[in-house]
Amino acid sequence: MKKTVTVIGLSGSPRRRGNTEQLLDRFLAGASDAGGITEKVVLSTLEYSSCKGCNACHQTGTCIMDDAVRELYDRMLAADCIIISSPIYTMGITAELKSFIDRAHYIWVRHFVLGSHIISPEEKKLRRGYFLSTAGMDQADVFDTAYPMIRALFNILGFTHCAGYLASNMDGYGGITGHPTALDDVYRIGTSAVTGIMAGRPCLELARR
């Protein structure tokens, strides 16, 4: 049984305390109440550059840009659970989050080109990754383009992509606080994430998209 569970939540929204950050806060509250050690990172407060496509990392497995992204990725690689949150803007994740995901290329190189720092399949089963998102529209495919990027990030970092939470029709609800169940739902998911990791159980509900 695992005694310490480290949880890192990443807010990809440029707007502070908006719908997705409120979802993230409730997830982290549930995780904390279950005994997890939680941390929230707001990407819009960090200073970092986009990937330059220089491919220098193909030789070393290290990004030549030494900024907040590298230190954050080190902490995420050591965590037991990570949560990525982003609203949907023009049918996709925010520019802040996309830029951050692109910077993970050097970690992809380590795993899949250089063969170093590999998370074993058994370790990956117990490392949980969740995606939380909101959208103004009530449209069936509004979240679809986000999933390949989120799935790629979890795969690069060695996390299982567990079922997170998607809340559409924010325009209709008047924001996340008008949704009848969303904040309670993500609190329960956060609690379940930590208790499951502590018990050594892989998540049973995987992301389906």
Q: Cα(157)–Cα(105) distance, rounded to whole angstroms?
A: 10
CB-based contact 160:206 (threshold 8 Å)? yes
Q: Cα(99)–Cα(49) distance, rounded to whole angstroms?
A: 8
The domain ranges of the chain are: 6-198
Neighbours of 81 (CB within 10 A): 26
Pairing of the two strands 81-87 and 160-161: unpaired
CATH number of 6-198: 3.40.50.360
Give the model confidence (pLDDT) of 31-73 as tens digits.
Answer: 999 999 999 999 999 999 899 999 999 999 999 998 999 999 9
pTM reported for the whole predicted model: 0.96
Give the model confidence (pLDDT) of 158-206 as tens digits.
Answer: 999 999 999 999 999 999 999 999 999 999 999 999 999 999 999 989 9
Phi, psi of 131 (to 5 degrees): -120, 125
